[in-house]
């Protein structure tokens, strides 16, 4: 039991170190914050495989997919708990420290467009569902379960 704890702690440290080792100097970080998603973060995400312990369809509730299993920067169902990012009284989620910083610094990452109504939706309050035909756990954000149901028709 104790070996498992140390193994998991070491694995978590290596994972976080690989994610946070991509951080830039202050000037570079500010420049990256101006773009939508840093290029090195896209490479980071391409190397990650979402872990899906259960079918996302099995996890759907009246509120959609559990928000804490979705990286809101990459708009992907990850299947495991993400880093909580409290911001302005709302809760967002990201898969790594870079996502945490992106959520805090880039408004456009915290919002999406409802594919049915075209209205802006705050991801922290959205009804989240898998994108049909997506191959890497891509998600869509809806203003409500009703708009999600219209989308499915």
Whether residue 72 lies inside any domain: the answer is yes
Q: How far apart are alpha carbons 112 and 26 in whole angstroms?
A: 28
Whether 46 maps to a domain, the answer reads no
For residue 137, tell me if it sits in a domain: yes
Range of the domain at 89: 58-152
Per-residue pLDDT at 41 exceeds 70: no
Is residue 14 included in any domain, yes or no?
no
Rounded Cα–Cα distance for residues 130 and 137 (Å): 7
> Is residue 34 assigned to a domain?
no
| pLDDT class of 4 with cuts at 50, 70, 90 | very low
Helices then strands, counting H and E runs in the chain, come out as: 6, 8
Domain-embedded: residue 123: yes
Cα separation, 140 vs 115, whole angstroms: 8
147: which residues sit within 8 A by CB, 6+ positions away?
Answer: 114, 116, 117, 127
Count of the separate structural domains present in the chain: 1
pLDDT value at residue 59: 73
82: pLDDT strictly greater than 90? yes
What is the DSSP code (8-state) at residue 67?
Answer: G
Q: Whole-angstrom Cα distance, residue 84 to residue 78? A: 14
In a domain? residue 98: yes
Q: What is the pTM of this model?
A: 0.65
93 vs 115: CA distance, rounded Å: 21
Residue 127 within a domain: yes
**If we measure between CA atoms, which residue out of 86, 112, 84 comes closest to residue 96?**
84
| pLDDT tens per residue across span 43-79 | 555 555 444 455 666 676 667 899 999 999 999 999 8
Got the DSSP string for 86-117? EETTEEEEESSHHHHHHHHH-GGGSEEE-TTT
């Amino acid at each position: 039991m104790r070996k498992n704890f140390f193994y998991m702690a070491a694995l978590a440290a290596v994972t976080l170190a690989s994610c946070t080792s991509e951080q830039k100097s202050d000037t570079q970080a500010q420049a990256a914050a101006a773009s939508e998603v840093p290029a090195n973060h896209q490479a980071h995400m391409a190397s990650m495989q979402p872990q899906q312990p259960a079918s996302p369809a099995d996890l759907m509730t009246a509120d959609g997919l559990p928000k804490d299993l979705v990286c809101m920067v990459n708009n992907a169902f990850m299947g495991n708990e993400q880093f909580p990012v409290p911001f302005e009284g709302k809760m967002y989620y990201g898969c790594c420290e870079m996502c945490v910083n992106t959520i805090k610094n880039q408004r456009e990452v915290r919002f999406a467009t409802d594919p049915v109504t075209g209205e802006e939706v705050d991801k922290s309050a959205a009804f989240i569902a898998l994108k049909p035909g997506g191959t890497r756990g891509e998600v869509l954000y809806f203003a409500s379960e009703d708009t999600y149901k219209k989308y499915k028709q």
